[in-house]
Amino acid sequence: MKYWMLLWLLLTTHVLADSSSQGKPGEFDFYVLSLSWSPTYCLISPGKKKCTEGYGFLLHGFWPQYTKGGGPQSCDAQSRLSPAELAKGVLVFSSQALLEHVWAKHGTCSGLGALGYLDATDTALASVKIPQLFEPFNVPNHLHAQEIESLFRQSNPAMGNHGMAVICKGRVLSEVRVCMSKEQRFTRCPRSMKTTCKGGDIRIPVQR
């Protein structure tokens, strides 16, 4: 009985130690820059304000992640953005609501503070060149996920062969996720970051 009690205590301590390491600012392996394809968002959520705020790949978030999968979240539930931070953030994110959500859930885990996190997000976003094919009126109705990856690699040679993932909702393009180091440089995605689109052509909704 003592043996099993000791084993249970050891396992419990290990689990608690792992749990306590979740959500500690600055303790993560890499970032994911998530860029949503806005026509798909508007197709799913017609009438949303975001649908009038831009076309194409729009910033969804800049998320600290673990190599094994997932990432820390909500590291400081009490943190609120100051007026100056909000003013700067809305120049990076498409809306104040999105900014506040991403900061509370992901940004607080960066360990950078609000202004540092916004600078890092802006740097990461500016470093990704969107392929010309995704500009208004150039977009084809269908592409393979591998073709989308290839277009991004051509536009961003430093990205490498395993630097991003294409995300679908069903067989419709939803977003691309670009893997970046803590220094906001392209980095290889771990195996936990995978393209979710099924084989064959995927639909790419276009501007109405």
- 23 pLDDT band, cuts 50/70/90, is confident
Those residues with Cβ within 8 angstroms of residue 176's Cβ, 6 or more apart along the chain or in another chain: 34, 35, 37, 57, 148, 152, 164, 165, 166, 167
| pTM reported for the whole predicted model | 0.83
pLDDT digits (tens, 9 = 90+) for 146-167: 999 999 999 999 999 999 999 9
pLDDT digits (tens, 9 = 90+) for 120-133: 999 999 999 999 99
- Number of Cβ atoms within 10 Å of the Cβ of 163: 20
- 42 pLDDT band, cuts 50/70/90, is low
Q: How high is the pLDDT of residue 5?
A: 31
Q: How high is the pLDDT of residue 54?
A: 62
Provide the CATH topology of domain 24-203. Answer: Ribonuclease Rh; Chain A (3.90.730)
Helix, coil or strand: residue 202: strand
Q: Under a CB-based contact definition with an 8 Å cutoff, are residues 96 and 62 in contact?
A: no
Extents of the domains making up the chain = 24-203
Q: How high is the pLDDT of residue 135?
A: 85
- 202 pLDDT band, cuts 50/70/90, is very high
Q: What average pLDDT does the structure give for the chain? A: 85
Which amino acid appears at position 9 of this protein? L
CA dihedral (190, 120, 128, 100) positive or negative? positive
pLDDT digits (tens, 9 = 90+) for 43-102: 665 555 555 456 789 999 999 999 999 999 999 988 999 999 999 999 999 899 999 999
